[in-house]
Structure 1
């Protein structure tokens, strides 16, 4: 990636937005500052220049300015996009879940078996959800989409997966259904959430900003599937206390998070394709799906090869599980690094102010500011969300090997628009916050100001 020619700061009394032109209405950064100054109007180390380099004062060749007055026309669209796919997914999930629960309660099994099934599977689901919410701390996903993901796994994937397995078991036997039908069918129906529900909605596609996002959605789909499937198995098999203890050990002790693990393999492949764009999204997505099927098939088929093979497969799954945890944690940490890397250019182009940059990449400062936001808490949360999403999107654009699509550029403009529209409320909250709650200026974040990215030509209606 090439960077613009180096230059000096613009006059701090004439703050600049993207394109190097003064903001409309003579707007200024708080205290008359500009992107190269710390709070109180003092220059950053190095003679008041951009951290680690000089700050450009030129427009990028071949790019059009993105004046703030353009933002109002498209900015609100990000949060108002139709979400037909997720809504249909939610309805299907609820219907499927209700049907499966009816079948469960009609099963002729002891009451204590049903109670144990719901308690132990509920505990497993709760542990998984806590972990995924912890991973999701830097750029939290919309709760309604996470709920839909769980419902899809529990209601849609479990329902249709069971139908396919029962059909194949009747034709080819239980062994074929367990080793072939279940891995291919169940992973297919689970994977449909990311492919159909999110990718059929502009809003859904825009929520997939990092590997962490795909891991979270895929993992929660797997949790939903595990929750209901384990209930079914425990209730069917656990007719006596001994049988109940055995099946709980097998389902929970040996494979509590198996379905989330399989879907994580698919998520890694899908994200690798999304980053590259074009046909790669399908190619890598299919490879990820086949990887999930392969591990699922090995897990289901190992019982036919004796205890030695079972131990080997369990060790293999444990290693893959640990590697998956490490990848997920590193990806979550990478979300903060992405934000820190992109903040210099986001301040340079006027999308965030130096004071806002001082706490956006500080989790403790975020929490303190939100506590003091009062009635504006939701606006602050939205501002944090939009700034983090913009940072992820800019990193993705920087790394792309092909020209970005119109949709990605529109998303970039929309996120910058929302930040601009929310700034007055954010600055009001920051001005009223206790001094210790806001870090004293912009920390020395190293990096180059990346490209502005051209404003897309959005039709006016």
Structure 2
């Protein structure tokens, strides 16, 4: 028996926000007779060599920074500093992962960002800051050792530290460009890098404070360790992430905006870095103003900036959700998605309810299928948004087809759950019978 012939391709969708961007997806029925071409952009041996070299660099940096911190603080001070410095890390990482849950970054990118901040960036910063302070003491005779440390902390340290932390964002922007979809990705990657940097720095500061308390016999709440813990862990655990997030914000804007203004796109990261350095300098200078000056800068400057940037990050995430309603309709026209799915996929509540429905009906495997489906649809919308704003890349058809096949693979499980979740979380929508890839009707999920 001869296999059925695929139907002709539907006409090009009317959706065309930019005449430069005319790409559209084939229908599912036609795509079943096509295989996405496999294209290896980088030879496997080059990718492996690059990964091994990067892992070796981070591992070597970690061993060196571990030895340096232990040498400065002593074994007991190192263990105390390590135990106290770890407190804000899970909270900060959980916050960034919550912000990034629409289109989560690959775990390897997050691990690299944290490792770079905790190992490579901290090592370079300690060495460079020490060199800068020694240079000031030896070459400017008018400066006392204390003045040299103050100048180093307020002028040189912010430039050095923000530059080495920004290097992680630059590397991910250049070599993981397909995962860098906008402002949220820039903020998350920069924030996690700075979280790793702050963790190692806090181990050093707390370990040194504990060593001084041991030598002076101070204990309890009046000790230097308690004061350092309060300032760095309780009062300002967000300080380093806040500075570097400004750099990540600029990279996120440059990634998806101003396609016809290349000089502006190139200048944006430097503007973000300069703003991060300025904010870092103000924060470090506040420590020289006494308790009243420090609290004044903290309350009237740092907290408002932190609140504004937090609001901006949440607003950017909301805008990314709305992008699904804007850039997924072409796939409704060609039959990959149902008319209600751009609405359901643009709601985090509906996604969560759909996962719960699938889990109760068919178990964890079905819930994972819903998660995979929503992730593929989100990546597809962001891919089309990036192509609309900056022009499609040569490998756009390959990426699009890969995501569409991934989407179609999980559709039989995810589509009924999303449809039922939409009825639960939104006003009634027109009911439609979910269909499997072969066109047969599927039973709805049990309540």
What is residue 159 of structure 2 aligned with on the other side?
184
* 3-state SS of 2:174 partner: coil
2:200 to 228, 244, 248: 228
What is residue 103 of structure 2 aligned with on the other side?
139
What is residue 243 of structure 1 aligned with on the other side?
224
1:351/1:416 contact within 8 Å kept: no
Q: How big is the shift at 1:224? A: 0.2
Task: Please give the TM-score of this superposition, normalised by the length of structure 1.
Answer: 0.73
What is residue 198 of structure 1 aligned with on the other side?
172
Q: Distance in 2 between matches of 1:236 and 1:441?
A: 53
* 3-state SS of 2:86 partner: helix
Matches within 5 A, 1:22-421: 63=22, 67=26, 68=31, 72-74=36-38, 82=47, 88-109=53-74, 111=76, 113-172=77-136, 173-195=148-170, 197-201=171-175, 204-239=176-211, 240=213, 241=219, 242-274=223-255, 275-277=257-259, 278-315=262-299, 316-354=301-339, 357=342, 359-361=344-346, 362-368=350-356, 371=359, 372=362, 381-398=371-388, 400=389, 404=391, 406-407=392-393, 410-411=395-396, 413-421=397-405
Q: CA 1:441–1:296 in 2, change beyond 3 Å: closer, same or farther?
A: closer
2:202/2:232 contact within 8 Å kept: yes
Figure out how many residues of one structure are paired with residues of the other and give that number.
Answer: 387
What is residue 33 of structure 1 aligned with on the other side?
none
- CA deviations over 1:81-111 (Å, ceiling 9, x no partner): 9487666444433321222222333445472
2:354/2:370 contact within 8 Å kept: no
Q: Which of the two has greater helix per residue?
A: 2
Q: CA 1:66–1:254 in 2, change beyond 3 Å: closer, same or farther?
A: closer
Q: Distance in 2 between matches of 1:163 and 1:344?
A: 53
1:117/1:235 contact within 8 Å kept: yes
* 3-state SS of 2:104 partner: coil
Q: CA 1:223–1:15 in 2, change beyond 3 Å: closer, same or farther?
A: farther
What is residue 19 of structure 1 aligned with on the other side?
12
- CA deviations over 1:289-336 (Å, ceiling 9, x no partner): 000000101111223334443233212011101111111111222222
Q: Distance in 2 between matches of 1:61 and 1:442?
A: 36
1:357/1:442 contact within 8 Å kept: no
1:168/1:181 contact within 8 Å kept: yes
Q: How big is the shift at 1:116? A: 3.7
Please say which of residues 212-221 and 381-390 is displaced more in the overlay.
Answer: 381-390
In structure 1, runs of 5+ residues without a counterpart are 1-12, 21-54, 446-461
What is residue 50 of structure 1 aligned with on the other side?
none
Q: CA 1:64–1:174 in 2, change beyond 3 Å: closer, same or farther?
A: closer
Q: How big is the shift at 1:395? A: 3.1
Q: Relative CO higher for 1 or 2, CA cutoff 8 Å, sep ≥ 6?
A: 1
Task: Please give the TM-score of this superposition, normalised by the length of structure 2.
Answer: 0.75
Q: CA 1:415–1:441 in 2, change beyond 3 Å: closer, same or farther?
A: farther
Q: CA 1:433–1:106 in 2, change beyond 3 Å: closer, same or farther?
A: same
- CA deviations over 1:363-395 (Å, ceiling 9, x no partner): 224423663476576665444223212212333
What is residue 428 of structure 1 aligned with on the other side?
412
- CA deviations over 1:145-181 (Å, ceiling 9, x no partner): 1011000100111010111001111111322321122
Q: Distance in 2 between matches of 1:86 and 1:380?
A: 31
